[in-house]
Each structure stands twice: as structure tokens, then as C-alpha cells.
Chain A
């Protein structure tokens, strides 16, 4: 157990739907990162939050949004889902100024 918890582990949904992925960071970590892993795009950085505020944005689609709550857990919202959104979505956390992240085990999203 890495200490970063992601739920659910698997999600199957239809095109056009909306889903929410949840991440609880490792105790003491203030930064949360979201990554998308797909076969054709590899690991793509989506967004980072630090202590409740957005810190950096990567290749995140406008249909996607995220937030970090006061208890530091984070949610990634994916809407108007398309077949191409099928991927593994990873959350990671880190201490500020630290090197390297701790990754969760991911949520596998399948859009049918």
C-alpha cells in the first residue's frame, strides 16, 4: 500500500456520461497530481493542486475539471465522455519541494 488511495479501481460508463474519480493523498502530502495513462499517449500530466489551490495545468481537456478539498482529498471530474477518454487515471502526491511522487494504483476508466 503506497498510502495514496484511489477509488473506484474500475469504472465502465457510456459515452456522454460524467464520472468522478477520487484520490486521498498520503498523510502529510499537500500536493496532488493527476495523470492520464493511455496506450497511444503514454503518461500525460493533467493538473496539480497544492493545499487546495490549482498550482499547474497540463494537457487537461475543458471537459475535465478537478479540485482539492480542505481535507486534501482530490476529485477529478470527467464529463461528456468519449471513447478516447478510456485510460488509466493516476493520482500521485508529494511533499512540497520533495523529489519524486507516491502514486496510487489508479482508476481504469472504460467508456463504451
Chain B
């Protein structure tokens, strides 16, 4: 079945550092890929998405490129801020096999120190 694997956390960075959170997936078809963010005490918010190979999703300085050849969707940000501290989830949706169900990775806790 479908699965998503994220790099193990937690990740701790200093403000203005470069961020990469790795995400790889396993799917039988051509999934859509997502990054969600969960701030403390809140629900998940869609951060960005990509629906086909080579698409780049971007939002709030975060970017991720859909790489079919490496089955990856790594999240990057050039300069993190304290306010980016949250849990980040990679997810996929494969309509052909699972309808509109989202399959999530384990989540990566990011802490940014001033």
C-alpha cells in the first residue's frame, strides 16, 4: 500500500539557517503530494502541494519539488524563523487506489532558536 517516510526528528536550527526535511514515498500510481504544518495546540494546515512530477509547490518561503525518479518531496526553506517552529507532515493522495484519503508520514518536529 501507499506509505510516506520522513526524516527522523526532532530538528533544531538557529534562526536564518537553511532547512531541509526529507520525505520519500511509496505508491502504485501517480499520487499528489503535500506538506502540512501543525503549530502547537492547533490542527494541521496545508503548507504546499504538488500534483504531478516536476511540479514545485511553494508557500511562505517553503518549497518542495515532486521528484518521481527518486520518489521524493523534500521540504526546504532558505532562512527559517522562530515562528516556523512546528511539526511538519509529508502526505500523499492517490486517487486511483485510495480515493481522496491522505496518507501521512510520521511528522518532523522543528524547533528554531533565536
Residues of A near any B CB (own CB < 8 A): 2, 4, 31, 33, 42-43, 45, 48, 55-56, 58, 90, 92, 94, 96-106
Contact = CB atoms under 8 A, between A and B. Distances in A.
Contacts of B99: 48, 55-56
A104 B41 CA distance: 11
B106 interface: yes
Contact of B43 (A42, A94, A105): A105
Interface stretch (B9-17, B45-53, B62-70, B74-82): B45-53
B71 interface: no
A98 B49 CA distance: 12
B71 to A, nearest CB: 19
Given A33-B102, A43-B104, A55-B99, 9 more contacts: A42-B107, A43-B89, A48-B100, A90-B43, A90-B44, A101-B44, A102-B46, A103-B45, A105-B42
B43 A104 contact: yes
Interface of B: 32, 34, 36, 41-46, 49, 51, 89, 93, 98-107
Contacts of A94: 100
A100 B46 contact: yes
Contacts of B107: 42-43
B43 A99 contact: no
A85 B46 CA distance: 26
Given A42-B106, A99-B93, A100-B49, A106 B101 contact: no
B104 to A, nearest CB: 4
A56 B46 CA distance: 22
Contacts of B106: 42
Given A42-B106, A43-B89, A43-B107, A101 B46 contact: yes
B102 A101 contact: yes
Contacts of A103: 36, 43-45
A101 B45 CA distance: 8
Contact of A45 (B45, B46, B101): B101
A100 B44 CA distance: 11
B10 to A, nearest CB: 13
